[in-house]
Amino acid sequence: MKQDMIVILDLGSTENAQLARQIRELRVYSEIHPHDITPKELEKLQNVKGIILNGGENRIVDGVAVEIDPALYHCGYPMLAIDHPTAKCEAKLPALPDIALLKEFVFDTCQAQANWNMKNFIEDQVERIRQQVGDKKVLLALSGGVDSSVVAALLIKAIGKQLVCVHVNHGLMRKNESESVVEVFQNQLKANLIYVDAVERFLGKLEGVADPEQKRKIIGGEFIRVFEEEARKLEGIDFLGQGTIYPDIIESGTKTAKMVKSHHNVGGLPEDLKFELVEPLKQLFKDEVRACGLELGLPSTMVYRQPFPGPGLGVRCLGAITRDRLEAVREADAILREEFEKAGLDKKVWQYFAVVPDFKSVGVKNNARCFDYMVIIRAINTVDAMSATIERVDWDVLGRITDRILTEVDHVNRVCYDMSPKPPATIEFE
Ligand code: XMP
């Protein structure tokens, strides 16, 4: 790492990530490390300009307050202690230092240079990836999501054709999504891309399966099997690229905090397929991942893509998936996205999508009775997806979307808007 770095030692504060972000916003790189890091390990990090000891709510582990290695006090690094030994009291204490104090510590006391930016980050990672990988090959499951797309672009820049991307089209992608993965990565970035058309295979396995959990298991399990089959066909692959990002690592638990959720990855690959991981984004927050993607030349539609569940449209075509309803979900979703973009809502609303339930209602089309499906539109805002409120979409916008869906999408005679917050509803329907 060429950039100067401020290390935050985790003494149980839940605000560590926010503090790291604040420092990075000052254009100084910052990382969180466990409280028991040794002077030797710290030295290995290179360019450490100062240390912040950030104590907090979880400092007491098994009745004992965690402490740093006392040898660190004699290593000559400037230190700033932000501690709340009274954190157990009722009042919420200010958890983050005043920004002026932080600036004074970072720039005056530590003499750190404001040299953290995406250009430097990319240069640095390209060098590290080349060092790690050498002349070996890296395999990457490229879903087209933000994280895997940015990892792919970064790996292509670092090692070009030594990266082998596998894109599995499971038939549950949104309109033109697989096509755009091929266009951007194969045609524009000249990636070594294996496109697997597994549409029939997935839809075959899902036929008649109505239970949401069962559907998710089939889609997830089948994805691993397809990826494994492709991996076995290849020779001389030693590394597996992954779009792990900083929140994944923080949420997997620290020595003081309890685990929030298990670290997600392309888990489930058989034991005999052993790969060393390449995770070049593992120190970035989501907005930094997006900035990195833009810097690497990815289109903003890909970089600002809204969250999309792994099982894709499979959990939005409710109950047992049928091809006609799946197409209706896909077409309605495309119209919704187009109209949200025209109305400027794509930048404002956190997540919006269409759902098609597996029952019909009576309607009238061309002067005759019809019995067709309905499209339910959902648009929500949230910070962390744990709770959500609905977007109060303008009636005119909803009217235009409804008109287009009713005229352009086959087998649909009704459009509804979901007014339910989370809780009690979840964001997705299945
Ligand atoms: P729920 O429905 O639980 O959704 O309120 C919360 C957020 O998670 C997304 N989601 C998923 N993301 N794999 C994913 O990567 C999944 O299986 C999955 N299920 C839900 C959902 O779209 C929402 O943003």
Residues with CB under 6 Å of ligand 1 are 307, 309-311, 351, 385, 422, 426-428
| Comparison of pLDDT for 88 and 371, the residue scoring more | 371
Mean pLDDT of the residues in the chain: 92
Across 248-367, the runs of DSSP E, i.e. the strands, are: 276-278, 351-355, 361-365
Across 12-124, the runs of DSSP E, i.e. the strands, are: 29-34, 48-55, 60-61, 64-65, 79-82
| Comparison of pLDDT for 252 and 195, the residue scoring more | 195
pLDDT digits (tens, 9 = 90+) for 168-209: 999 999 999 999 999 999 999 999 999 999 999 999 999 999
Out of 313, 355, 428, 429, mutate this one to test ligand 1's pocket (max ligand atoms within 8 Å of CB): namely 428
* pTM to 2 decimal places: 0.88
Q: Could you tell me the distance, in angstroms and rounded to a whole number, from the CA of residue 364 to the centre of ligand 1?
A: 35
Residue 353 host element (H or E): strand 351-355
pLDDT at 95: 58
Structure token digits, residue 1: 């790492």
User: Among candidates 200, 201, 205, which has minimal Cα distance to 218?
Assistant: 205
Domain 5-109, CATH: 3.40.50.880
Query: How many whole angstroms separate alpha carbon 287 and alpha carbon 285?
Result: 6
Q: Which segment of 73-77, 105-109, 316-320 scores lowest on mean pLDDT?
A: 73-77
pLDDT at 422: 97
Structure token digits, residue 144: 């087209």
Structure token digits, residue 224: 């691993």
Dihedral of alpha carbons 351, 353, 357, 362, sign: positive
Query: How many whole angstroms separate alpha carbon 117 and alpha carbon 123?
Result: 10
**Facing residues of 422 across strands?**
388
Give the residue extent of every domain in the chain.
Answer: 5-109, 118-303, 322-417
Query: How many whole angstroms separate alpha carbon 22 and alpha carbon 105?
Result: 13
Q: Are strands 192-197 and 163-169 parallel, antiparallel or unpaired?
A: parallel
pLDDT at 189: 96
State the Cα angle at 306 between 24 and 31, rounded to 5°.
20
Out of 174, 305, 427, mutate this one to test ligand 1's pocket (max ligand atoms within 8 Å of CB): namely 427
Query: How many whole angstroms separate alpha carbon 151 and alpha carbon 164?
Result: 12
Residue % of the chain over a pLDDT of 70: 93
pLDDT at 14: 81
Query: How many whole angstroms separate alpha carbon 331 and alpha carbon 323?
Result: 12
Domain 322-417, CATH: 3.30.300.10
Within 13 Å of residue 52, how many CA atoms lie on the same side as its CB?
33
Q: Could you tell me the distance, in angstroms and rounded to a whole number, from the CA of residue 225 to the centre of ligand 1?
A: 22
Q: Could you tell me the distance, in angstroms and rounded to a whole number, from the CA of residue 126 to the centre of ligand 1?
A: 32
Q: Could you tell me which CATH class the domain 118-303 is placed in?
A: alpha beta
Q: Which atom of ligand 1 is nearest to the CA of 310?
A: 13
pLDDT band at 1 (very low <50, low <70, confident <90, very high): low
Query: Are 5-109 and 322-417 the same fold in CATH?
Result: no
Query: How many whole angstroms separate alpha carbon 6 and alpha carbon 114?
Result: 11
Q: Which segment of 133-147, 250-264, 269-283, 337-351 scores lowest on mean pLDDT?
A: 250-264
* Count of C-beta atoms within a 10 Å radius of residue 268: 12
pLDDT digits (tens, 9 = 90+) for 366-410: 999 999 999 999 999 999 899 999 999 999 999 999 999 999 999
